[in-house]
A and B are shown apart, each in its own frame.
Chain A
Amino acid sequence: MKVRRPSAAIAATAFAAGASLLIVASSRSISAQAESWTPPHRMLLTPERALAMIVASDRHLEYVPGEVLVRFRPGVSVAGQQRALTALRSRPAPAGLRWIGDTALVTDPVERDATILAVQLNAQPEVAEAEPNYLYRISNTPNDPGFMQRQWNLAALDMPRAWDINPGASDNLTVAVVDTGITAVTRSYSFLTWNGRTTQQVSVPYGISPDFSAARLVTPRDFVFWDGPVLDMHGHGTHVASTIGEDTNTSLAEAGIAYRVKLMPVKVCVGFWEVQFVMTATGYRGFVPTDSGGCATSEIVEGIRYAADNGAKVINLSLGGPEPSATLRDALNYAVGKGAFIAIAMGNEYEDGNPTEYPAAYAAEIDGVMSVGAVGPSLKRAYYSSTGPHIEISAPGGNDREGGATAMIWQATILRADSSPVTVLSPRFDRYAESAFEGTSMASPHVAGVAALIMSQGVTSPAVVEALIAKTALPLGAPDADTPGRNREYGYGLVQPRAALRGFGLAK
């Protein structure tokens, strides 16, 4: 059955309809007109947030409408906070704020333009900093599965000989994947969804990837969808995690870099299906845009801090966006201070104006955080890989222009044919296959995996891990004058796991 999907115009109409429905929908009881649905866990993705994400997607906004992150000056009392918040038309109470460390998430149901909210709050003497709750996006281009497995990327990094030195890192080390999640439970949940004609309750099966033993998934946490088990309904998080540490016992074709580490699934991003389920539960009849979703600063920050607080020594952030966020930068510093190395995707916008992407841009100023660009099988910069003075290292990210899907990054993830919003009405997330993705999202986990191997060798300082990766990189291109030792396309060059693991002798 061919299903017609909404265009942007239709989506805008759907937004209007959804918005009108939301006015009458209670946030406490998500109900539908056709069927009722009681979530098995407390929902974190509220109808308001889901709708806001649709709006952001439809209007190409870089922030969650109506949400702003505020950090008050030290010593400001609750009364002072209250006074500052009176600058907003909705006059939210401090007691209702959602706190993330020393930063509060303010939701204004009246003013949806978060840039205006930020301006209003920044004008208040009690406020140290206010910024829109920026939306970052995972950046990758999934391709149809079915091609034979080709992990040229691991061969390019000479991983077999790196594993001679350290076979898959220590099982005591935890790598957090702050992303769309890694499914950490095998069971089915019922959701309401739209089948093109009516609202339908469907049983959606979820399963742990057969390439992850369940014991390797530790302290999973969902900050964005619900207060229940982490479920990956996109595949991005699982693909990233597979690059970092897919079980490896047979051949290179099914290998992850640090295949013995513990993986911490931290879900901070949602995609089409999460938004569709929540919107349908509100009574919204129709499909939400296929690119619905994203990763709000508020959840990313929570995820980073959670990972650092719960023992993750390596954190991968395969996400980004063009807006700077001081809150996000502070979270990076917080995690590094806790001893976590962070790898961040540079961004895939080279052919779209090559804007500076965040949080990657913060990497250059924080020792222990590295921004990662992508190369293809030729070890030349992938066409999409963003450049700039802040790039620090390069890793395989795939480049379909060098050879189609075989030149992309193949790892195990959710079978795309089971959940593609373009072709599937009732998805399932319990079947996995080697799938080809490309993007700096795919390059970053290579560096995260190498960092895990290095930490397993006894180098525990994030700054030193960065120094080791930088000093042992294979230079690509000539250094730029303003960035000693590196250039704007490749940073220090291609990450060299074997050289990094060997370290240095006395003479060389």
Chain B
Amino acid sequence: MNTIHRTFIRIAWISCAIVVSAAAARAETQVRVTVDRSTIWTADFQTPAAVVDSGTMLTVVAERKDWYEVLVPETTDPARAAQHGFIFKSFVTKSTVAAPRAETDSSRFGVAGFAQFGYSRFAAQNSFQAILGHPGGGIYGGGGEVRLGRGLFISASVDRFEQTGQRAIVADGQVFNVAVSDTIALTALAGTAGWRFANEHVTPYFGGGLGQLHYRETSGFADPGEDVDSRFRSYHVLGGVEVRNGWVATAFEAEYSRVPDAIGFGGASAAFHESDLGGFVGRVKVLVGR
């Protein structure tokens, strides 16, 4: 295990620690009602959701022209508590005083399942280029996510990559393929812990975690034992934004992973002195759940 590897693991753990500690320091936009008996309207602007007095603190979740979209306070009709409503901006002033946090969709307990697809550019890009003709390729997979409240979430996912190219000889950095098929299949299992920033519709998040990479390489005319079938520990950090619309959300995510000392002992990877099966991944996730 080299120094970079150790550093990376530390970064992964530190990011998790930051996620946990950030929960305590979290702050939200608050407004103070300045006019007695101000009405908070429902989304149709026909029905009052609540009537509040001066001094009431409201949590803003969005803005719409002259209106703030706020959480209906619990002090009013309990049936409408935590629902969204609209209050005229002239009836409130922004408050700089941190208020007790009101829960949002993203900070409450929730469960979601997701499908994901994207593109992986491998750290061993020369090796993949030699065999497959390009340094990465498409991936697909899915998983589940659990929001534990207070912005914390954990997720488990699986990604799959499989492409077929040609075996090769690398000489003086040049690649010559030999017209024998070579199929590389990667299955990445990952567990992630992270933090979601409270926001009703566009929610940034980041996280990190560990996983296991199943590497399988099969080729034409191979004898038993000549193919490769191995598993390796992986480490990753990721970040993204989630755009939610009710029960469905779409996330755009970037991930950096390391799978050290997985390759580089033979074949094209040895010729290029590349040993890491990790890399950068850009993916789109479609989540269903709250």
Binding site for B on A (CB under 8 A): 161, 164-165, 454, 457-461, 463-464, 467-468, 471, 498, 501-508
Contact = CB atoms under 8 A, between A and B. Distances in A.
B177 A458 contact: yes
B3 to A, nearest CB: 24
Contacts of A454: 178
A253 B215 CA distance: 42
Contacts of A471: 169
Q: Which 3 A-B pairs have the closest CB atoms?
A: A508-B266, A503-B178, A503-B167
B176 A507 contact: no
A502 B180 contact: yes
7 contacts: A457-B179, A503-B178, A504-B167, A505-B219, A505-B267, A508-B217, A508-B267
Given A459-B178, A502-B178, A464 B217 contact: no
Given A464-B171, A471-B169, A506 B267 contact: yes
Interface string B243-285: 0000000000000000000110111110100000000000000
Interface string B170-212: 1110101111101010000000000000000000000000000
B158 interface: no
Contacts of B222: 502
Contacts of B167: 502-505
Contacts of B179: 457-458
Contacts of A506: 124, 127-128, 130-131, 182, 184, 217, 263, 267-269
Most buried by B among A161, A464, A503: A503
Contacts of B131: 505-506
Interface of B: 124, 127-128, 130-131, 166-172, 174, 176-180, 182, 184, 215, 217, 219-222, 226, 228, 262-263, 265-269, 271
Most buried by A among B177, B178, B180, B226: B178
A504 B170 contact: yes
Contacts of A164: 221
Given A464-B171, A506-B182, A507-B269, 6 more contacts: A468-B171, A502-B178, A506-B128, A506-B268, A507-B228, A507-B262
A51 B106 CA distance: 102
A504 B221 contact: no
A56 to B, nearest CB: 41
B266 A507 contact: yes
Contacts of A458: 176-179
Contacts of A161: 221
Nearest to A459: B176
Contact of B169 (A467, A498, A507, A508): A467
Nearest to B227: A505
Nearest to B130: A506
Nearest to A468: B169
Nearest to B131: A506
Interface centre among B169, B176, B182 (most CB of A within 10 A): B169
A504 B168 contact: yes
Nearest to A457: B178
A165 B168 contact: no
Contacts of A461: 171, 174, 176
Nearest to A458: B179
Nearest to A466: B171
A463 B222 CA distance: 26
Contacts of B176: 458-461, 464, 468, 503
Contacts of A504: 167-170, 266-268, 271
Contacts of A165: 180, 220-221
Contacts of A503: 166-169, 176-178, 180
Residue in A498, A504, A507 with the greatest tally of chain B CB atoms within 10 Å: A507
A46 B92 CA distance: 117
A464 B267 contact: no
